[in-house]
Each structure stands twice: as structure tokens, then as C-alpha cells.
Amino acid sequence: MRPRRVDPALLAIVGEGFFSRLSFGLISFALPLYAYRLGLSLTAIGFLLSLNLVVALALKPLMGAAADRFGRKLGFTVAIALRSLVSLLLVFATLPWHLFATRTLHGVSISIRDPAANALIAEHGGKKAIASAFAWYQTAKSVAGALGKTAAGVLLALTASNFS
């Protein structure tokens, strides 16, 4: 039995899922600490952390329809660009409302990305390996999220003298 050739587009989608979740794993660990440092209450921090998910859930049906209408590749590309913008904007966030606006934009990017990525995985996974393609994608995202949070904890421990 010969090994199955993996579609390069599928590798790119899985790679994007891995690296995106790795970077946002780092961010998700540090963001509450930074929000607390900016003076947000624990309740406000809880709302901040769930804001992107609330926005994504509200917009996913609409963005899925948009991906069907305008193209899955375009949707995926726009989502990646927005996620990159979110990371850049977090660098410049100095006020609490900056964090809330950025998390809202992050939710928009998730709502665009998830339907487009899932459709592209189904398209490029191969008729006999769709479940396997989704499994690899979810595994890559889960492993990267855990690695990102772990790396953030280690980095914070190593630089704890710089964090007050």
C-alpha cells in the first residue's frame, strides 16, 4: 500500500490553524493579566475573554453564507488578514476599550475563518479521507493552543521580575 499524497492546500490550512492557535494561545494567557494591569475588574475581564466567541457565534451563519457567495478562499484570506491585524492592534492597545474593540474584531475574523476553513478542508481532504483531514486540523489546533498557553506561562515565569 502506497502512502496517500497530501494536498498542499490542506497542509497550508492545517499549518495556518496550528500557527494561528499557537499565537492566540500565547495571547489568551497574557491578555487577562494585561487587562487587569489596565484596571479592568475580574467581571470585565471575563466579559472581555468571552467577547470574541460571542461575536463569532452571532456572525458565523452570515459569514458562512458570505463564503458560499464570494468564495471560500477569499473568506479564508480575509480572515487570516484580520487575525494578523488583531495581533498588531493588541501591541498598540493601551486603554480598556482598545482591548474590547480588538476582541470584537477577533470574533469577526473567527466567524469568517471557521466556515471557510471547514469548507476548504472538506474540498481538499479527499473523498476517502475527509474525516482524517478534519481530525488532523482539530489535533493541530488543540496541540498548538496548549503549547501556546504553556509557552506563555514559561515566558512569564522566566520574566516574572518584569511583571508587576
- CA-nearest of 21, 5, 9 to 114 is 21
The three three-digit cell numbers of residue 73, written as one number: 478562499
Q: 130: which residues sit within 8 A by CB, 6+ positions away?
A: 121, 122
- Say what the pTM is: 0.89
Tens of pLDDT, residues 59-99? 999 999 999 999 999 999 999 999 999 999 999 999 999 99
